[in-house]
Amino acid sequence: MPAPVQTRNTRQKDAIRAAFLEANRPLSPDEALNLAQKQVDGVSIATIYRNIGSLVEEKWLTEVPVPGGASRYEVAGKGHHHHFQCNTCGTVHELEGCELVMKPKLPRGFKYASHEYFVYGLCADCVK
């Protein structure tokens, strides 16, 4: 049986956690870097990737796959929801809940498990 994962809390990891909490939306590694650098000087992109990997492993973060783009990451443990991506700046935002009522017509013998839904448009900052 493998040894349990040892987690280290560092100023950098705390700054990365704070970045995700402050943004309150899915972040790319570059976005997390920009926010974390406001709190701790010297945070590198390698540190961001290493800590995102660790935070996903710890189930503190979860991956948000972006159709046709790079994944983002958000704080884990939220209920079922969907995402919106701005066509201009590329930021990804959460949409609360799920208003989709769909019953897809599946081939015989198939069983529905879940769905994904991604909305595109302009964020409030880009509309201005």
Q: Which position has the token pair 């198939």? A: 110
Rounded to 5 degrees, what are φ and ψ at 83? -135, 155
Q: Is residue 76 part of a domain?
A: yes
Range of the domain at 121: 11-127
Kindly report the pTM of this predicted structure. 0.80
Kindly report the CATH number assigned to the domain that includes residue 115.
1.10.10.10
Please report, in range form, the residues annotated as the binding site for Fe cation. 80, 115
Angle at the Cα of 119 from the Cα atoms of 115 and 124, rounded to 5 degrees: 145
Number of compact structural domains in the chain = 1
Please report, in range form, the residues annotated as the binding site. 80, 86, 89, 115, 123, 126
Q: Is residue 47 part of a domain?
A: yes
Q: For position 10, what pLDDT does the model report?
A: 87
Stretch 18-33: mean pLDDT: 97
End-to-end CA distance of the chain: 55
pLDDT tens profile 28-81: 999 999 999 999 988 999 999 999 999 999 999 999 999 989 999 999 998 888
Q: Is residue 58 part of a domain?
A: yes
Please report, in range form, the residues annotated as the binding site for Zn(2+). 86, 89, 123, 126
